[in-house]
Amino acid sequence: MTRPYNFSAGPAMLPEPVLQRAREEMLNWHDSGMCVAEMSHRGKEFMSIAEGAEADLRELLGISDEYRVLFLQGGASSQFAMVPMNLLRGRTSADYINTGSWSKKAIAEARRFCTPAIAASTEDDRFSRAPVQDELKLSPDAAYVHYTPNETIEGVEFPEIPDTGDVPLVADMSSTLLSRPLDVSRFGLIYAGAQKNIGPAGLTIVLVRADLIGETLPGTPAMFDYGIHAKNDSMYNTPPTYAWYLAGLVFAWLKELGGLAAMAEINRRKAAKLYAAIDDSSFYANPVEPRARSWMNVPFTLADPALDGDFLAGAKAAGLLTLKGHRSVGGMRASIYNAMPEAGVEALVEFMREFERTRG
């Protein structure tokens, strides 16, 4: 049986070999007699799964010992609060770059804890581009600079990493982490909700430079303290064990595929094919400036929005699921994370061409 292609923005497709492996191991993981979901997080079986996943993630991203890798809960949305709670370290302001809906949420949450200064905003351009380095008004007194390298809703991705000098750079990489190689040493902290490129919802990955943790705002709950999670190897409380295990299977799948350089090559080709189909037509349009077009989330509109319903119904019948755009922007959005096969993008392009030919 072939499965349909699911273009959901997240929770999103998981690699089929990962799902197959999870199925094989469901009732009896490695002769333990247990499903991973039934294991004590402190037992030797789960400890080996946890350590293996961290080692593979470190290898994939080339993460040095200077960084702690945390496997947390609470989603990226909790990080909007945890970042200021942990990284202000006596300062009263932080710089935020505003490039879309998720940046705005991070900024709104930071206001509970400090005065976020807007280093740049593309809101006047309807979030259709990424700012260039010269536009950034960065303060040397900022506790950190926060940005969203890939805006999942608007489909805008920074083509380069901003230079923030000695001020730690913090990135919400929820919808781009693991899509290509990354120089982690450029960052003070990286966080990502798992439900796009990493695994199922319920797990949040944080990579944080060890020297930045340990000084929290007064009143910070233990569960919001990176230092406490780091000291306890992400086992201060019961971690999301099954999600951690599935993420580990995803990391192993990526390694088998040839790592992030190989993944990047596939992702680059997938995105190029889809954008070419949009640009080659006068029926489909994407509003994002070419240099900042996301490899992962491709929003597009039809020349006649009255055809949106027919497009979605036809796509579904052709085995192409969840193409409806975010409710805030409308139109369509194809999320083409790591687990989306190139054949899925090709099937979408073929459907789009046929729809335009017959209905456009």
Q: If binding is defined by CB under 6 A, does position 152 make contact with ligand PMP?
A: yes
> Is the CA virtual torsion 233, 182, 199, 33 positive or negative?
negative
In the complex with ligand PMP, the residue whose CB is nearer, 116 or 351, is 116
Where would I find the H helices in 100-189? 101-110
Burial code (b: 16+ CB inside 10 Å, e: under 16) for 48-74 equals ebbeebbebbbebbebeeebbbbbbbb
Q: Count the site residues for ligand PMP by CB under 6 A.
A: 11
196 part of the active site: yes
Token pair recorded at residue 341: 């096969």
CA–CA gap between residue 318 and residue 281 (Å, rounded): 21
In the complex with ligand PMP, the residue whose CB is nearer, 155 or 168, is 155
Q: If binding is defined by CB under 6 A, does position 311 make contact with ligand PMP?
A: no
- DSSP assignment of 229-272 equals HHHTTT-SS---HHHHHHHHHHHHHHHHHTHHHHHHHHHHHHHH
105 part of the active site: no
In the complex with ligand PMP, the residue whose CB is nearer, 172 or 225, is 172
The binder of ligand PMP chosen from 77, 128, 139, 281 (CB under 6 A)? 77
**Residue in 56, 196, 295, 324 annotated catalytic:** 196
The binder of ligand PMP chosen from 45, 109, 154, 172 (CB under 6 A)? 172
* Range 193-252, binding ligand PMP (CB under 6 A): 193
Q: Is 121 left (phi over 0), alpha (psi -120 to 50) or beta?
A: beta
Other beta carbons within 10 angstroms of residue 213's beta carbon come to 22
**Residue in 102, 244, 253, 295 annotated catalytic:** 102
Q: If binding is defined by CB under 6 A, does position 102 make contact with ligand PMP?
A: yes
* 286 CB burial (10 A radius; 0-12, 13-18, 19+): buried
76 is in an annotated binding site: yes
Q: If binding is defined by CB under 6 A, does position 98 make contact with ligand PMP?
A: no
102 part of the active site: yes
Q: Which residues of this protein are in contact with ligand PMP, per CB under 6 A?
A: 10, 75-77, 102, 148, 152, 172, 174-175, 193
Known binding-site residues equal 42, 76-77, 102, 152, 172, 195, 237-238
Known binding-site residues for L-glutamate equal 42
Active site residues: 102, 172, 196
